[in-house]
Amino acid sequence: MCRRVSVGLWLSLLGVGGVAIGVVSDVQWAAGLALAIGAAACAPAAAWAGRRCGHWCLWSAVCALALAYGAHARDLALAPKPAWAAGQNNPVFIEGRLRRDASRGESGVRLELDEVRVLGGRAAVVADSRLTVLAVVGGELSPGLQAAWTAGRRVTMPAQLRIPAVVRNPGSPSVRWQHLTRPFDVVGTVKSGLLVTAERGAMWQEAAASVRRYVRAVSSRWLAPLGAQSSAVMTAVLIGDRAGLDSAVMRRLQVAGTFHVIAISGGNVAILTALCLFLFRTLIRHDQVPVLATLMIVVAYGLIVGRDASVMRAVVAATLYLSLRLLGIVPHPLNVLALTALICVGIDPFVVLDVGAWLSFGATFGLIAVLPRLIDDGGARVRRNLWRTLWRAARGLFLATVAAEIAILPVVASVFMRVGVAGLVLNFVAIPAMALIQVAGLVLCGLSPLGQWWDGPAALVAMVAHVATSALLGSAGLVDIAPWLVRRVPSPPLGWTTMYYAAVMFALTWRGRRIGRRGAVVAAALSACAIVAAPWIALRRPPAGWVRLTVIDVGQGDSIAVQLPGGHDLLVDAGGSAGTFDVGGRVVTPALWASGIRQLDWLAVTHGDVDHAGGALRVVEDLRPGEIWEGVPVPGDPLLSGLRRAAHASGIAWRRLQSGDQLELGGVLIDVLHPPPPDWERPKVRNDDSVVLRLRYGVVELLLTGDAGPEFESAFTPGALPPPIRILKAGHHGSRTSSSEQFLNGYGPAVALVSAGQGNLFGHPSPIVIDRLLQRGVDVFRTDRDGAIVIETDGREARVRTATGRSLTVRIGHASAATPSRVSPAATRPPFPP
């Protein structure tokens, strides 16, 4: 048995590891396949020389074959997309199969498609079936039609398509990583639901959709009158449909560390499995029949719930365990975990990049391997009573949470940039509440068809579920009372993560003297402290006496970080978007950390448009600026009003800027050139009210114009003695309403910076503006093509570099581009530190 366990673990580790290496590396799949064939061919001769040598050849063949499989999947994912996907032939008619039921979002109804075909002319042009499309259907009638768009059905629609944009910033994942991990290859919009036609799917798919509709109807009938979020939580727990959950509720649960209870995972499937086994064993006096019945229910549940990766992992693990039990084998949990990982990777090699998989397998490994080390009863038999049983249960739950947190701490810090201990307390509420919600939901769904006599008990069961939901959601308020329980941290370098896991594994596997294990525990603790404290941030600041300006790639928006001599930091705008994506927390804050900024001195909001101020609230929460600057106040604007309330609640000074204000620090002069004092109260935000800042350091000047247009440019004068090196941040993302001929002639920039989103709907930057700049010999850098743009100056020259590797050095009287004739520096080292 031990031999089999060892073989199974080796097979799983080599298989998963080989696929991971193939996906993330540059190794060609053909080389991996050749290596596998060579190792397998050498195995007989190696076995003749020694049994162990033969085994090593076989294991090498398995690993190489897995590597080839992962590399092949990687090449397919990174292959150039067809012309229709790049938006060159839009709009187009597409046909595809729905991966899951339609869900309602902020911009419309979301349809997730695979097996996509493009319909054109008299014949269907078949696109790559590996491509996936997210289509957002607009129009007022779409929500009423979404019931017909269920998983498995084929739909046809005219859609305006584009390839999703990526961000290129210091601190952001690489472009390659973003391409490999994004959930959709193509996104598109459909004007109206009336343009979407649907064909019925297979019989089992229609039956599964009927069950899901039934669950939603039961939840809506019994829980919606008690609370909309109670109904949404029950639906999420039972079938994984989180469309009805409020985004603020989900974020509170994520911050508190209890979001996992409303995402179907191993815990939900484990509860279902245990409940079915208990009921069937109560009714059927047989060893194998209850296991077989439970296995059938678990498989059916997986088919009903859908294709979420977390569901697939949980169902595969439960199916594997129950199948082995049917064969009379009681498997070791670690073997089940390893074989589950191997099966999941075999089905989808990109599981190795799935953060959810990291968390699921990591937490489960913590429960299997770490928890037994924490629980040490010494083998003593103790007298059982109610209080001792409750104490042991509470202690076990606490230690289980600790074990899971130990296993996933670096992953949470790397991906979510957050660590905390709130979950150690909140799981005492969240896990029992989730179990009550799931059991109550199953009871409601199972007994609702019995008729009106069931209404009284059903109301009571629904009340239990509502109380449990209220407790679950209310428990997240602990973070509001004690925010220090959760800390935002930058993603740790790979070295610290490797050191942490190496120390943990050494502590788990060491069988020698106790001092070795204690040393490993101390090393793991020190690594964890380093991950939380992030001492490496200070090493990323600009050299002494230099000013660094970073135009952060926030898509269609503005965000500019300015690092001054003496350690002072200013952020001008924080990007933002109209959707639910957290630009401030997911893009701006990591870029500031990667630049060496731990806390801001000032945050300047040029004006209240969402693409400039939408991410400001999260940046304020993460980096706690000493002051927030605004220009012309707009009392009725909800975005600025919410930011002002948050500033007052946190004790952050709120300051109004107007033309003529100045600040001088470390030889850098910051002038406010716009706006002038307003002579009437603004009912809404105006681009021409943008704050315009001018930074002068030696012979270098940087002009940051926000979205200012003709009102500023027509009144602008460069001054009597303008510095010889002038760098302009083009107004309004390069719109044709800014950067006029007169303004450019008067200012005469050497370099122009444009912050705009890839393939944005506004057509920014305008080709007319780009032509104006190029005709004057101005070097243009654009975030949509170059990614983040970094300018460093010591007051005598300005050095420009971008995330894509472009560079330029501007000195008095000339500009010299650093463009090697053979090998670009960007090809040998990354332009930004990882």
CA 390 vs. chain centroid, Å, equals 38
Token pair of 179, please?
A: 């391409």
Q: Which residues contact 81 (CB under 8 A, 6 or more apart)?
A: 131, 163, 185, 186
pLDDT of residue 89: 54
Q: What sign has the CA pseudo-torsion 602, 607, 610, 611?
A: negative
H-assigned helices in 510-609: 514-533, 583, 589-594
Q: Which residues contact 132 (CB under 8 A, 6 or more apart)?
A: 99, 112, 113, 114, 116, 183, 184, 185, 186
pLDDT of residue 148: 92
**pLDDT tens-digit series, residues 227-255:** 888 999 999 888 888 877 888 888 888 88
CA atoms of 433 and 253, how far apart (whole Å): 13
pLDDT of residue 692: 95
Question: What is the 3 state secondary structure string of 411-434?
Answer: HHHHHCCEEECHHHHHHHHHHHHH
**pLDDT tens-digit series, residues 253-291:** 888 888 877 777 777 888 888 889 888 888 887 778 889
Token pair of 559, please?
A: 């965000």
Q: Does the pLDDT value for residue 630 go beyond 80?
A: yes
Strand boundaries in 459-595, DSSP class E:
486-488, 547-551, 560-563, 569-572
**pLDDT tens-digit series, residues 558-608:** 999 999 998 999 999 999 987 778 899 999 999 999 999 999 999 999 999
CA atoms of 340 and 317, how far apart (whole Å): 5
DSSP per-residue string spanning 245-305: S-HHHHHHHHHHT-GGGGS-SHHHHHHHHHHHHHHHHHH---SHHHHHHHHHHHHHHHHHH
| Contact predicate 360/332, CB 8 Å | no
The predicted model scores a pTM of: 0.88
Q: Does the pLDDT value for residue 6 go beyond 80?
A: no
- Intra-chain end-to-end CA distance of the chain, in Å: 45
pLDDT of residue 769: 95
> Which residue type, as a one-letter code, is found at position 226?
L
**pLDDT tens-digit series, residues 797-833:** 999 999 999 999 998 854 443 332 223 333 333 444 4
pLDDT of residue 813: 59
CA atoms of 708 and 702, how far apart (whole Å): 15
Token pair of 633, please?
A: 């106040």
Over residues 392-406, the mean pLDDT reads 87
| DSSP-derived 3-state class of residue 657 | coil
Nearest Cα residue to 410 out of 301, 520, 505, 493: 493
Long-range contacts of 476-481, Cβ-Cβ distance < 8 Å, separation of 24 or more: 476/252, 476/253, 476/255, 476/256, 476/258, 476/426, 477/252, 478/256, 478/422, 478/425, 478/426, 479/252, 479/255, 479/256, 479/420, 479/422
